[in-house]
Chain A
Amino acid sequence: MQCPKCHAPMHTYNRNGVQIEQCSGCRGIFLDYGELEALTRLEAQWTQPAPPPPPAPQGYPAQAYPAPPAPAWGAPHGGHGHYGHQRHRSFGRMLFSS
């Protein structure tokens, strides 16, 4: 996408799970709907001590924590990982070789 102000190309960064477009020319930042709120929420999490995790209800899997930060070039997380359905041999080999 192109910067609406100076028309230079914009690059996508992932900051703590929030996608941010930043202009490579004027360094302006574009936020999608809801992303400012997401950033504000994250900021509050960093500055406040984390509340104790709620106990998981009986018979349900434990409450999922938000995914840890990942780089913008990373694979889309949230169900698209290769680990869920295929702890397969190729993955095993990759973990054990240079």
Chain B
Amino acid sequence: MTDLVPELAGRAEAEAHRDTNPCPCGAPVTLADRPDATVVRHASTVAKAHAPHTDATGLALRLTTAAHLPGILLPPLTKSPEALHDRLVTFWPYGTPVDPDTPDAAPWEAAATLLARLHNSPAPPALPLMRGPAKAARAVVRLRDTAPGHLAARAVLRAWAGLPAWARAEAPMPDGRTLCHGDLHLGQLVRHPAPDGPWLLIDVDDLGTGVPAWDLGRPAAWYACGLLPPDEWTRFLTAYRTAGGPAVPTDGDPWPALDVPARALTVQTAALAVVRATEAGRPLDEVEQAVVDACDRMGGLPPELAGDVPKGPTA
């Protein structure tokens, strides 16, 4: 636990009980305490301390975006971030998360439908870029810094080198206009009001404009790596298409659109897996190895660009 937690808990308590004093509830609960975020719950209020050096203007714009898209994104309790030492703090209503112990109950349809609606919503002017490629690049920097000599690092870095520059955050994204979440995974969905309200997307830190297929990239990568069963992938993809999501064509092979984001997110996942295993002094487990193996297979295969096998004479 960092020193931030008690003070953040105090802020959450003050926000939860603007009108009731003294506080009738029990102790605060720490929901997350990582280098990039500390999240504390007090009663029905959640306080989040964002990563150090978070851009205040960008965060404020992302917060405003969430406030204007109720039914898609969890609306914040406050309009602008507050300062707490060197961190920015935002307040949110508590929502019930996806249960990590019952992956069979994962709300694939809801996740896909919310993404499709987000992607079809207008992006407010001046909203920053979606940060997906930047986060993938940061994971690769961590791999180079932490475990450059790891046996798996070579395959991961080779797969990274094969990606187009935009996917490595080294060039502008080809589609700069679509509103994207930027970091979709199953921890980014809550039911609000708790415990059984509708599902909503949370975490606006990476929200912005960019390539919408990036938001489908993680489930696509899990499916490609053999971690997500075909039927769950089909449920997710079908729900996205049914809801009119613009990231993939309405029918036919979705992989020309998904290939680059799924590769980049596989690389990001593999890089962080190698970093975490190295820091813990343990070997890769079977699931982590499956993601590294996928990077290894990417090495010999150029990404799908315009989509189809190039036209040419048959042998």
Contacts and interface: CB of A to CB of B under 8 A. Distances in A.
Nearest to B287: A90
Nearest to A67: B230
Interface stretch (B12-20, B40-48, B288-296): B288-296
Interface residues of A, number: 46
Contact of B294 (A75, A84, A93): A75
B98 interface: yes
Contact of B314 (A28, A82, A92): A28
Question: How many B residues touch the partner, as a band?
Answer: 35 or more
A11 B312 CA distance: 14
B285 interface: yes
B204 interface: no
Interface in A19-68: 20, 22-23, 26-30, 46, 65, 67-68
Interface string B288-313: 10110110011011101000011111
Given A16-B253, A92-B100, A75 B314 contact: no
B234 A94 contact: no
Given A28-B313, A68-B233, A90-B288, A77 B226 contact: yes
Contacts of B298: 73
Q: Is the interface of A mostly helix, strand, loop or mixed?
A: loop
A98 B310 contact: no
A22 B312 CA distance: 10
A15 B294 contact: no
A1 B282 CA distance: 37
5 contacts: A22-B310, A90-B287, A94-B227, A94-B269, A96-B185
Given A46-B252, A75-B294, A86-B287, 19 more contacts: A4-B315, A11-B300, A12-B301, A15-B253, A20-B309, A22-B310, A26-B312, A26-B313, A27-B311, A73-B224, A73-B263, A73-B297, A81-B227, A81-B229, A83-B229, A86-B286, A91-B103, A95-B103, A96-B98
